[in-house]
Structure 1
Amino acid sequence: MKEWDPSPEEVSNGYIKGWMISSGSGLALRNWHGVEVLRNAVPVAQRGSLQIYHGSYYLPMVAAGILARHAFKILHAGEPGDHALAEKYLVKAVGMNPEMWGSEVELGNLAIEHKDKTMALHWFVMARDQAKDAPEEQKDIAAEVERVQKAAPDAMTPMRNPMME
């Protein structure tokens, strides 16, 4: 069996295509990352609590995770990468799933690289507001918002992204 590793272009419209295996009990209990579309779909097969699907399903939050993962690979590969492409993937990912506060932190850091204080504040405030389920990280992001507010554009420094740990 081959590992599933779709390209950002394959998922940029929010659709996931192909074979998927999911736990039926997990789908029944909650709307975890917008997968209600699978809860309402008829699986092609079932093995115990596993449900097997084949087709094209609109799962923007899953697609957003794929886009963000590819962006993080570009930004943190240890070699020069196409930061503009990574930024494009992150903006698209956040558009599909605004709760991706780690992506918003990365966008804030990219804005700092561009010395764009307004956009850095925009992304860090958004990240702070979305990190409500991670109180320690939310405090760190709030502190970064304060640092950026007080700093001159040339003196801003990127934040350590808690999602990278």
Structure 2
Amino acid sequence: MGIREKRLENDFKELSQLVGNSGGTLAIVSTQGKPVEIYKIEYRCKGIESVRNNQPVYRTTHNVEITLGNNYPKDQPKAKFITDIFHPNVFSNKNVCLGSYWTMAENLSELVIRIGKIIQYSKDVLNLKSPANGAAKNWAENNMHLFAVDNQTFKANKKPTSTIVWNDFK
């Protein structure tokens, strides 16, 4: 098995674990390939579908297709929304602008979380300096007080079932 195939397998395992621990906020809708190279992911969080009369129209489910190309992980994945979204970092054709810098160290689970933050207008990933959608950028600059529109982490907030104390190690 080659390095790419091993990475694809590891990405699938890690993403499956993330989805399993997401408390229902993420779902793998479908996959293609063996090992998997194309994912359809459903995000269950608040995001902006469009703007009407300068007011956001929200939606709470978003679907994204992520394609891990032939040169992945050397080359960055491609991500495209299937559902409508209004965002400065998403082109009008619904392709997600992932930036010009990609590092092989970012795994698929981290990318899925980053796209979730994009949906939510999380300020730590919102890039208004190099917008993919100028109208969304202009609207966002004038409405920064609305962001983030959600604060979903896509990780379940489970309390531990037991507490370990120092005496347990004696």
- Greater RCO, CA 8 A, separation 6+: 2
TM-score when normalising by structure 2: 0.24
Q: Which has the larger strand fraction?
A: 2
Q: Which has the larger helix fraction?
A: 1
